[in-house]
Structures are given as C-alpha cells and as structure tokens.
Amino acid sequence: MSGPRHDPSLFRDRDGIEVARALVSVSDKTGLVELAAALAAAGVEIVSTGSTASTIAAAGFPVTQVQDVTGFPESLDGRVKTLHPAVHAGLLADLRLESHEVQLAELGISPFQLVVVNLYPFVETVASGAPASEVIEQVDIGGPAMVRASAKNHANVAIVVSPSSYAEVIAAVGSGGTTLEQRRRLAAAAFAHTADYDRAVADYFRSTVVGGEAGTPTGAAWPDAWEVAGDLAQVLRYGENSHQDAALYRRADGAGIAQAVQLHGKEMSYNNFVDADAAVRAAYDFAEPAVAIIKHANPCGIAVAAPRAVDAIASAHRSAHDCDPVSAFGGVIAANRTVTLGMAETVKEIFTEVLVAPGFDDDALTLLKTKRNLRLLTLPEGYRREELEARHISGGTSCSPGTRSPWTGGVSPRRGPWRQGTPWTTRPSRTSSSPGRRAAR
C-alpha cells in the first residue's frame, strides 16, 4: 500500500546501521553459540524463542525471551510465539521515516536491526518418511513471516537465514554495522529461502491425499504448477560444447546424480552429468545386478549379470561392454551395485570418462584411482527416480511420469528364447560408431 508517508523524498539515509538489538530463532543450531558470543561481546540485546533461547542461555550469554517482549506466553504447543505486533512492528518499522520512529516510541516498541531465522526442517521430515501428522507440524508459519518482514524492510534490518552467513554478520557487527549492499544481498537470499520452502510444502501437498493421515501419493492428476528449483552447487568445466559455460544446481530434497559425491578424477562437465544421469537411470531399471554404458546420451550397452555369476556386477559389466566395445570407448558407466575389484580390473583397461555406483570396494577404489582422469562418483543413499521427468522446450517444459522400463519388477531382458549372455544387437563393424540396438537381452 503506497501513500505520502512512503514518498522517497521523506526518507533519511540509512546505509550503515549499527546493530543494537537482534531477534534470533533457529531450527539449525549450527554456529549459534559462536554467533551469540559475538553479539553479546558487542553489547547487542538478543531476543529469542524456545530452544534457541535455551541454547544461548546454557552457553552463558544473556538472552531475552520473546514472551517477555510480547507479554503473551508461547502457546498452542509452540505454534504461536512471534506472531505479535510487538515483534513485527520492530521488524517492519521503516526508520527512514520520522513518523514510524514516532509511532514506535508511542507504542513502546524497540526496533530490530538484525534477524537470524532458519525454518523448521520440513524437507528433511518428508524425506525421513514421517507420517503426515508429523510433517504438518514442520510447516513453519512464524519463521517465514519474520523472514519476509525483515527482507521487505532490508533498508533497516539485516536478515540472515543460513549459518554460512554468520561470519559475515559477525564481522559487520564488530566493524560498526551492516551496509545497505549487504542487507540487499541478504534479503535476496532470504526471499529465495522462503520461496524454496513454500515450494517444497506445495509439492508435498500436491503429491498427497489431503485429509488422509497417511498422506498417500495420488499420482492421479497433473499439478496446476510444476517448478524445479535448487541452489548453485558447482560451476562446471564447460557446457554441452567447449565454448559454453555451465553450472549445476542442486535441490535440497534430491537423491540423484546431482547429489553424487565425486571421489576421484577431473571436474565434471555438463555432458558428464547428462550421460551419468542417463546411465544411472538405465542401470537402476533392473532389480538384478546391472550395468549401463552411455556415450553422448546414447546407450552403448546395458546388461544384467549372468545367472550364478561369482562376481555379478563384473559379469554385468563385461556383457554391457560386449554389446558394442567400439562405442563404449570414452563412455560413462553406471552400476546398480557396489563396484568390485573384478569389475575395476576390467574398467581400468578401457578408456572411461565417468564411473558411478552406489559404492566401491576398498581394493576396487584403490585400483581405479590409478587412472588419474577417471571420474569416480558414489550415489546418495536412497537414490530414486524423479516422480516427474521434464525436458525444457521453447517457452515451457514437457513432463512425463518417471516410470521405469517394462522390464522392471523382476522381469529380466535376459529371459527369453535366446541363449543366455548373448547381446541383443546387430554387431557393428569395427569402423562403426553407431549405437544401434544395444540392450543386452
């Protein structure tokens, strides 16, 4: 709502702001004691809630309970703590305006110059498989309200939503206050934080039966909106072509190739991630030990282990490679079981860009690390296919359910009237690099 009181000509300069009062309420207690120590040493009054206040007090630092500010006790099992004018007036007062300063004085409310808030662990609770009754309690209400209020009023308040920003804030408090540039940057991060949080909540409710205790996924209807968001995780070596830049964005709730841990080798490129994702999805289409080899997004070979193989994953790799040894040169390999020494010995003799698996035996990892440029990745625990898979198209996104192949569910491509272990392919000539038909049957 605009009005004469917010005419820019009435604003007073508020660049460097000294921190005299801070509101601190965090679920993630990482770095909290160190932050409280720095604020206390600088003479900052700390106002806090619940377990945050208890942690600060237990560390020996003075803290004011928020209920002593509001005159209203925390109630409804903690659902109502900070939703009070005595808190939000101190967050939203625009002290560039003399009229706001006068109103705060009349109301007996002191403003905040620093707010440190991170939200209830909603994403982590959903990922844990908790029932809907527990998940719903992790939908934060007061936290986002404080974050958004402070970010809106960044001309006067610095809002911090991540422990990774504590060092910067501690330095600012010790050097005379926060700058407008800092507060703008922190506000941008804060709005992104609440947007990601709300998106996660919305996605959860879209994918569940609202009103049912179990919160069963429906899968019955397309969502009215579908968005993918993530944090910048890595600037990649190059894009699809060597003259292009590229970056990897990672979702907090993901459990896929973007969350894989690189154990060895050169930095990943855009194409490495694309091929690794295709290879992992292909290998994980099967319940049996399986290996997929991908090159330029095309399958060079996919195979499951031979029956009664002593080293099942090594057997699957040999069969996958035999589908098309020529095209497999310089490919990306994914296994759906831990890589054994037997498999590693074969891979070591073949030029390979990336090898990704749920794990590596110690002797296999030691051997593979002798290949200086071979990238070795481990998948996160609980790897899963996306519920919706998407492709960007001009002006939008095309989505499809992330279903597995018809071979999933114990039906193996190897079972049929053909001889076991025979690759299902038209053998390419040694001069051919065409992928052809290469799923081992």
- The tens digit of pLDDT for each residue in 319-378 reads 999 999 999 999 999 999 999 999 999 999 999 999 999 999 999 999 999 999 999 999
Give the mean pLDDT of the chain: 81
**Per-residue pLDDT tens digits for 54-89:** 999 999 898 888 887 877 777 776 677 777 887 888
- From the list 19, 66, 54, the residue with the least C-alpha distance to 40 is 19
- Which residues belong to the active site? 152, 296
Structural element, H or E, at residue 112:
none
d(CA 352, CA 411): 29
pLDDT surpassing 70 at residue 203:
yes
Q: What is the pTM of this model?
A: 0.60
Q: Pairing state of beta strands 375-378 and 64-65?
A: unpaired
CB 48 within 8 A of CB 66: yes
What is the second-level CATH architecture of the domain 4-206?
Answer: 3-Layer(aba) Sandwich (3.40)
CB 44 within 8 A of CB 20: yes
The reported pLDDT for the residue numbered 15 is 67
The reported pLDDT for the residue numbered 211 is 39
Q: Where are the domains of the chain?
A: 4-206, 231-401
Extract the runs of DSSP E, i.e. beta strands, from 316-434.
Answer: 331-335, 352-357, 375-378, 388-393, 396-401
CATH topology of domain 231-401: Cytidine Deaminase; domain 2 (3.40.140)
pLDDT surpassing 50 at residue 40:
yes
- Cβ neighbours of residue 362 under 8 Å, at least 6 residues apart? none
Least confident of 43-57, 90-104, 244-258, 363-377: 90-104
d(CA 98, CA 119): 33
Please report which confidence band the pLDDT of residue 226 belongs to, taking 50, 70 and 90 as the band edges: low
d(CA 189, CA 328): 43
- The mean pLDDT value for 171-178 works out to 87
Rounded (to 5) percent helix, strand, coil in the chain? 35, 20, 45
d(CA 292, CA 389): 19
Percent of the chain clearing pLDDT 90 (strictly above): 35
Least confident of 11-25, 110-124, 268-282: 11-25
The reported pLDDT for the residue numbered 361 is 96
Q: How far apart are the first and last CA of the chain?
A: 67
d(CA 378, CA 365): 11
Return the structure tokens found at 159. Answer: 């809002």
- From the list 269, 434, 255, 439, the residue with the least C-alpha distance to 358 is 255
d(CA 229, CA 198): 11
- Which letter does DSSP use for residue 217 in this model? B
Angle at 188 between CA 168 and CA 249, to 5 degrees: 90
CB 66 within 8 A of CB 21: no
Give the number of residues written for the chain: 441
Angle at 140 between CA 153 and CA 390, to 5 degrees: 95
The reported pLDDT for the residue numbered 221 is 60
- Which letter does DSSP use for residue 87 in this model? H
CB 285 within 8 A of CB 299: no
The reported pLDDT for the residue numbered 320 is 95
Please report which confidence band the pLDDT of residue 266 belongs to, taking 50, 70 and 90 as the band edges: very high
d(CA 223, CA 219): 10
d(CA 80, CA 64): 17
CB 40 within 8 A of CB 14: no
The reported pLDDT for the residue numbered 413 is 46
The reported pLDDT for the residue numbered 205 is 78
Whether 231-401 and 4-206 are alike in CATH topology: the answer is: no
The reported pLDDT for the residue numbered 301 is 94
Angle at 103 between CA 99 and CA 106, to 5 degrees: 140
DSSP per position, 183-216? HHHHHHHHHHHHHHHHHHHHHHHHTB-TT-SS--
The residue with greater pLDDT, 44 or 216, is 44
The reported pLDDT for the residue numbered 417 is 35
- Which letter does DSSP use for residue 427 in this model? P
pLDDT surpassing 90 at residue 302:
yes
d(CA 7, CA 158): 22
pLDDT surpassing 70 at residue 4:
no
Cα Rg for the chain, rounded, in angstroms? 28
pLDDT surpassing 90 at residue 208:
no
Q: At what angle do helices 32-41 and 50-58 cross, to 10 degrees?
A: 70
The reported pLDDT for the residue numbered 421 is 43
